[in-house]
Structure 1
Amino acid sequence: MKKKTASPLEYVEPIGARVLVRKDEPKRETRGGIALPDAAEIPTITGRIVTTSALIQNDEDVPLRQYDKILFHPKNAIPVDLEHDNQLFVVPVEDVVAVFRRGRPDAEVTD
């Protein structure tokens, strides 16, 4: 009998109102040059959306798209163990507190 080997997972698809986020590297220094200790706990962290669930993709009221940089609260984020330096997290949409955008949405364009 031929033995089946498990193939490695190629991607993670979040289900429900969730997004898959690659967490940014933690900052070790403030803008003013003050070094932060490794034990410093920051209640919100930033990252880039790798993919969104089908529910989010089809919801026009949720302004989250792939590659958006977001600020999220890590309390309910679930780590995904696919990479050696595990930076992937499944994050509920209600824990996303901000999306970083270029320009201002209400800025008028003048000629």
Structure 2
Amino acid sequence: MAKKKEGENTKNLTIQPIGDRVLIEREPSEEKTPGGIVLPDTAKDKPKRGKVISLGEGRLLRDGTRAPFQVKVGDRVVFSAYAGEELKLDDRELLLMREEDILAIIE
């Protein structure tokens, strides 16, 4: 991963996935248990849900065409706990993962 250079501005930085990769913004984690206990940051599980914010071009098929995505920008999705590469851009928690790591679309 590239290191941030001194004075580099990330406010207008965009990330465009390539191939069959999907960029997802992780949903915020739960602050309290159902019983009302406030959780410290160290006890919070990372959410396994998020919103699709960007798509690559699609998986390259043998005939040279691209397979269409099953998800679209704006979809809320569920993914496995260890899916994707974590990215932090400003105060946003992002995940870059393959479409096959997405388990379901939340409707």
Common fold, TM-score beyond 0.5? yes
Name 1:50's counterpart in structure 2.
53
Name 1:72's counterpart in structure 2.
79
SS at match of 1:21: strand
1:1-111 equivalences in 2 (<5 Å): 8=10, 10-30=13-33, 32-35=34-37, 37-38=39-40, 39-40=42-43, 42=45, 45-55=48-58, 59-60=67-68, 62-83=69-90, 85-101=91-107
Instruction: Note the aligned Cα RMSD (angstroms).
Output: 2.7
* Per-residue deviation, 1:72: 1.0
Distance 2:49 2:43 in 1: 15
Equivalent residue pairs, number: 93
Q: Structure 1 stretches of 5 or more lacking a match?
A: 102-111
TM-score computed with the length of structure 2 as normaliser: 0.67
Distance 1:41 1:94 in 2: 26
Name the % identity. 19
Tell me if structure 1 keeps the 8 A contact 2:51–2:76.
yes
SS at match of 1:26: coil
Tell me if structure 1 keeps the 8 A contact 2:85–2:97.
yes
* Per-residue deviation, 1:43: 7.6
